[in-house]
A and B are shown apart, each in its own frame.
Chain A
């Protein structure tokens, strides 16, 4: 027997309280009238005799209550042998089916090891088969049917996920707590070091869990295409650069050995270029391919490294790209700021991939324009916007378009920002003379439109239109708290407002280095539909299918085998899906955008280094000391603490009720007590 909080036992000292009350309590009840106290005397004996323990039963109950209360807080427990002390235990067979198990016949070996375990089961033994990947999948319940267990093991297929021993340990802990039986866990795996969780504590096993390793395979050299950097969109095929990293894993040789490998760039199953690289054992090499002659539309790219090794699945790396024409940007200008369009065009043209072509248009002409084929529209301080133009722009934005609005002197007199519907308060002015100017003091650097602008360092703002951000989000503020960049999402689209002009009259931004990144990033952000998602993903990543605004529209996903991944219900309700295998996924989001995603296995799986034996021993030892090397089992190790507090609580309740009854009998006012009434009568 022990106590989880023994210091609460000090509360037993409180038993002195009822003893004091019963022993020393003055019997000062209501005085009883008597004709004369002539013959009565104050006797010490009398008082001493009063100090006897009265109501012994009541005292005993009260003392018992306090002792029980102290014991309850001290939380006592008994060490009890688990129910399965008769040798009954559960067999857990975990088969690693991660990407690395595709090496040679590792998965077959693991399955064979598992099948031999099942064959060795005694009648009545319970077992469960687990498939270990990124998640732990229980293939059976706790059953004792060997045939069913065998079928479950044989049904295990290799996956492209990364193994996680932390997940396995968590599952085993949960199983142990729910069954209260000793577990014997058999792990058939290549025991990759990369499958260990970041913290060793995540591997902790509950007591009476025995872990047995069945190591599959050996450390071997392995080459892999570790990473590929390719543009998501191609506007000019000649300017495209594809960079690939080739890595060599395996046991370091005594002498550095360099291996030549052919690396090919494949697009739509057609080898475009091949290069030869030299890779040192355990090292990495970079390959760069210039130009990517991709057809219009989505293309399936692949970088391969030749030469057979133990794990051929990681010798290729998929990537997806889209060839498209430069998109048009409509720049609506009233002619007030002739240099604005010059600066903006120069900034757009200077971006690396030449993704945009700018058209300039007067507002009166833009009234009748169809905006849907523009990537986004820029309103350059055009002052009064006609309702026709504004309605058309709003319709365009709600349908998924984007508008960038620059506010200048012409907008200062307007009551509100067009399209965005935020009220304009006033114009903040700063004189140009005497270095009186405003700077950017706050910036949302995490926003896609504001990356790489380096806080508009050194940019001086002489005038900004003060817009009250009621419905919009402020991305940058000047040091007088005037919002400089605001964003409001409307429908499927968005509106970005720059509260100064794009020329060098009200600010000197176009003359600074921040200008081109700002234009480039904001244009890329505005041209994208919704949040930009990467198209090259690691297996087990999640892809967003819909935002909260597009609830009813259907999404569609085709896996690398061309099968639909979503059911009809999921197509209209699922917010995202997990990429579960290598290959190309065709995706149609709820917003109607078509995308080609390329998924590749986590390249940490390519490193086949095995967990050191001492680490494995430590892991095994977390389960039970009995399993630790050199330790022998003892009775105490098999025993589990059995809490006594529920029983103590029950006992306390009974004693409290008894105390109430006894106290009621003894301490009720004399007039209410039948025996006193009888005596008085």
Chain B
């Protein structure tokens, strides 16, 4: 199962790059910078007195044996970033014109991100949604977290329509710490609504990344004859002429992407359009390079 997602070729391309946190607070890659906050890391920082409610796992029992007072060990965390992947499993994702459906591509992408986070000992979690939350793995660094995420990705089934409101509300509920929320979707909705839905997370210091997956056929449909198109999500049908598909539609989808991108930038959200015909490692490397450049 792991082999399916963690393709050595893809991972080979990605492992040379570090995911570096853009913001001051959180960072992706350990060792590149010091976090201003303490995290769950190995380097000892200080002791503090135990107060009820603290996790007993962090009590330094050696000090307690000597002093009979309970102190908690605090460490300087090299990373304390929490990555939450939002994976869109709506019906529109089940489209692919060149052998790879968007959903498959999205799964690879989600697995790669989870693996990267796991390699940096970042807490990683995933929310699988369509018009509701279908599966949720809370971000954690515990042992076995990566297989859990990958299993969640693997077992995800195609749902119905896309609705960002519910999943993002759900994320807001548990995502109390600052971190990274990566949304993988084809974003077939109005840009205004998308940004309006995801923007509140940004206000809480969370970094948002929108991975916009589109099939080349969605970007540049090639029709030789007039065809009857059926909407995968709504089931509506429409007769489309080749002329329209060749001239007007690409302009509109391009404007749509540009609109999302502009609105995302205005809201401090990263937006990255991925053509699913592109090799995944190449796209991911490019994205990480762009992120690194931004820092």
B262 at the interface (CB under 8 A from A): no
Report if B40 contacts A (CB, 8 A).
no
**Given A32-B227, A36-B92 in contact, is the A46-B256 Cβ separation under 8 Å?**
no
Chain A residues near B244 (CB, 8 Å)? 40-41, 43, 46
B1 adjacent to chain A (CB < 8 Å): no
For A47, list chain B residues within 8 Å (CB): 239
B136 within 8 A of A: no
- Minimum distance in angstroms from A228 CB to a CB of chain B: 99
Cβ-based interface call for B226 (8 A)? yes
**Interface-located stretch among A23-31, A201-209, A215-223, A424-432:** A23-31
Q: Judge whether B270 is part of the interface by a CB distance below 8 angstroms.
A: no
| Given A38-B188, A39-B256, A40-B249: A32 and B241 interface contact (C-beta under 8 Å) | no
Instruction: Closest B residue to A28 by CB, please name it.
Output: B228
Residue numbers in A under 8 Å from B249 (CB-CB): 39-40
Closest to B256 in A: A39
Residue pair B239, A42 in contact (C-beta under 8 Å): yes
Instruction: A294 to B228: give the CA distance in the assembly, Å.
Output: 112
CA distance A38 to B191 in the complex (A): 12
For A29, list chain B residues within 8 Å (CB). Answer: 227-228
Our pick among B186, B225, B240 for the contact of A35 (Cβ within 8 Å) is B186
B221 contact set on A, CB distance < 8 A? 34
Bound: A33/B227 CA distance, A: 10
Interfacial chain A residues near B215, Cβ < 8 Å: 35
CA distance A161 to B244 in the complex (A): 95
Within A629-681, the residues touching B (CB, 8 Å) are 679
- Asked if A34 contacts B229 (CB within 8 A), the reply is yes
Contact for B243 among A35, A37, A40, A46, CB less than 8 A = A46
State whether B232 touches A35 (Cβ < 8 A): yes
Give me the 4 closest cross-chain CB pairs, A-B, nearest first. Answer: A46-B241, A35-B92, A31-B230, A39-B252
A32 to B245, CA, bound (A): 14
Chain B residues near A (Cβ < 8 Å): 92-93, 95, 102, 186, 188, 215, 218, 221, 224-234, 236-241, 243-245, 248-249, 252-253, 256
Contact with B along A532-569 (1 / 0, CB 8 A): 00000000000000000000000000000000000000
Pick the most buried of A39, A42, A43, A46: most chain B CB atoms within 10 A of its CB: A39
| A680, closest chain B residue (CB) | B97
Q: Which B residue sits closest to A35, measured CB to CB? A: B92
| Chain A residues with CB under 8 A of B225 | 27
Q: In whole angstroms, how far apart are the Cα atoms of A30 and B237 in the complex? A: 11
Contact among B188, B224, B228, B245 for A36, CB-based, below 8 A: B188
Name B229's contact: one of A27, A28, A37, A679 (CB within 8 Å): A37
Given A46-B243, A46-B244: A31 and B237 interface contact (C-beta under 8 Å): yes
For the complex with contacts A32-B228, A37-B236, 12 further pairs of A-B residues with Cβ separation under 8 Å are A31-B228, A33-B230, A35-B92, A35-B186, A35-B215, A36-B233, A37-B229, A37-B231, A39-B252, A39-B253, A46-B241, A46-B244
User: Is A255 located at the chain interface by the 8 A CB criterion?
Assistant: no
State the CA gap A568–B118 with chains docked (Å).
123
Q: Please tell me if the beta carbons of A37 and B228 are within 8 angstroms of each other in the complex.
A: no
A49 to B243, CA, bound (A): 10
Given known A-B contacts A39-B252, A39-B256, A46 and B239 have beta carbons under 8 A apart: yes
Taking a contact as CB atoms under 8 Å apart, the answer to whether A32 and B238 are in contact is: no
CA A635 to CA B230, docked complex, whole Å: 71
Q: Mark A599-617, 1 if CB is under 8 A from B, else 0.
A: 0000000000000000000
Taken together as a complex, chains A and B put the C-alpha atoms of A30 and B239 apart, in Å, by: 11
1/0 contact string of A162-185 vs chain B (CB within 8 Å): 000000000000000000000000
CB proximity of A192 to chain B, nearest CB, Å = 84
- A42-78 vs B, CB cutoff 8 Å, 1 = contact: the mask equals 1101110110000000000000000000000000000
A660 to chain B, nearest CB (A): 22
Q: Which of B95, B218, B241, B256 is the one whose CB lies under 8 Å from A45?
A: B241
Q: B188 contacts A40, CB within 8 Å?
A: no
Q: Complex Cα distance A118/B245, Å?
A: 91
**Cβ distance A423 to chain B, nearest Cβ, rounded Å:** 84
Is A37 a contact of B238 with CB atoms below 8 Å?
yes
**Interface-central residue, A28, A38, A40, A50, by most chain B CB under 10 Å:** A40
Q: Is the CB of B226 within 8 A of A40?
A: no
Residues of B within 8 A of A41 (CB): 238, 244, 248
By beta carbon, the residue of chain B nearest A47 is: B239
By beta carbon, the residue of chain A nearest B252 is: A39
A46-B240 in contact given A34-B95, A35-B95, A40-B249 (Cβ < 8 Å): yes
Most A-side CB within 10 Å, residue of B218, B232, B244:
B244
Q: Could you show 12 A-B contacts with beta carbons less than 8 Å apart?
A: A27-B225, A29-B227, A33-B229, A33-B232, A34-B231, A35-B93, A39-B249, A39-B256, A40-B249, A46-B226, A46-B239, A679-B224
Chain A residue contacts of B102, Cβ below 8 A = 35
Task: Considering the complex, give the chain B residue whose CB is closest to the CB of A26.
Answer: B239
Expressed in whole angstroms, the minimum distance between the Cβ of A24 and any Cβ of chain B is 14
Residues of A within 8 A of B232 (CB): 33-36
Query: Within 8 Å CB of B252, what residues of A?
Result: 39
Q: Which residues of B contact A43 (CB under 8 A)?
A: 241, 244
Known A36-B231, A43-B241; contact A27-B92, beta-carbon cutoff 8 A: no
Q: Which residue of A lies closest to B229 (CB)?
A: A34
- Residue of A28, A30, A35, A42 near B218 (CB, 8 A) is A35
Residues of B within 8 A of A49 (CB): 226, 241, 243
* Distance between B64 CB and nearest chain A CB, rounded to angstroms: 60
A32, closest chain B residue (CB): B227
Q: How far is the CA of A38 from the CA of B253 in the complex (A)?
A: 9
Please provide the chain A residues from 246 to 280 with a CB less than 8 Å away from any CB of chain B in the complex: none
A36 surroundings in chain B (CB, below 8 A): 92, 186, 188, 231-233
- Separation of A232 and B241 alpha carbons in the complex (Å): 104
**Chain B hits for A50, CB < 8 A:** 226, 239, 241
Let me know if B230 and A32 touch, CB within 8 A: yes
Q: Which residue of B lies closest to A38 (CB)?
A: B188
A243 CB, min distance to chain B CBs, angstroms: 102
Instruction: Determine the distance from Cα of A28 to Cα of B249 in the docked complex, in whole angstroms.
Output: 21
Give the CA-CA distance A33 to B94 in the complex, in Å: 10
Nearest-neighbour CB distance to chain B for A584, whole angstroms, equals 97
Residues in A with CB closer than 8 Å to B240 are 40, 46
Shortest beta-carbon distance from A369 to chain B in Å? 107
The answer, among B93, B186, B234, B238, for a CB contact under 8 Å with A42, is: B238
* Chain B residues with CB under 8 A of A27: 225-228, 239
Give A28 to B230 CA distance when docked, in angstroms: 12
| Cα–Cα distance between A42 and B239 once the two chains are bound (Å) | 7
Contacts of A35 in B (CB 8 A): 92-93, 95, 102, 186, 188, 215, 218, 231-233
CA distance in complex: A322, B258 (Å): 132
When distances are taken between beta carbons in the complex, the residues of chain B under 8 Å from A31 are 228-230, 237
Which of A30, A36, A40, A42 has most B Cβ within 10 Å? A36
Q: Chain B residue with minimal CB distance to A49?
A: B241
Most buried by A among B231, B233, B234, B237: B231
List chain A residues, Cβ under 8 A from B227.
27, 29, 32
Max chain B CB contacts within 10 Å: which of A28, A30, A42, A46? Answer: A46
CB distance from A34 to the nearest CB of B (A): 4
Q: Which residues of B contact A34 (CB under 8 A)?
A: 95, 218, 221, 229-232
Nearest-neighbour CB distance to chain A for B106, whole angstroms, equals 13
Residues of A within 8 A of B92 (CB): 35-36
Distance between B193 CB and nearest chain A CB, rounded to angstroms: 12
Candidate in B102, B239, B253 with the most chain A CB atoms within 10 angstroms = B239
Q: Taking the nearest CB of chain A, how far is it from the CB of B84, in angstroms?
A: 25
With both beta carbons as reference points, the residue of chain B lying nearest to A50 in the complex is identified as B226
The CA-CA distance from A326 to B261 in the complex, in Å, is: 139
For A679, the chain B residues whose CB sits under 8 A away are 224
Shortest C-beta distance, A140 to chain B (Å), equals 76
Q: Please, how many angstroms separate the alpha-carbon atoms of A600 and B241 in the complex?
A: 97
Chain A residue, CB-CB nearest to B224:
A679
- Residues on A with beta carbons closer than 8 Å to the beta carbon of B238: 37, 40-42
Q: Complex: how many Å from CA A42 to CA B244?
A: 10
Instruction: Kindly state the separation between the CA atoms of A47 and B241 in the bound complex, as whole angstroms.
Output: 8
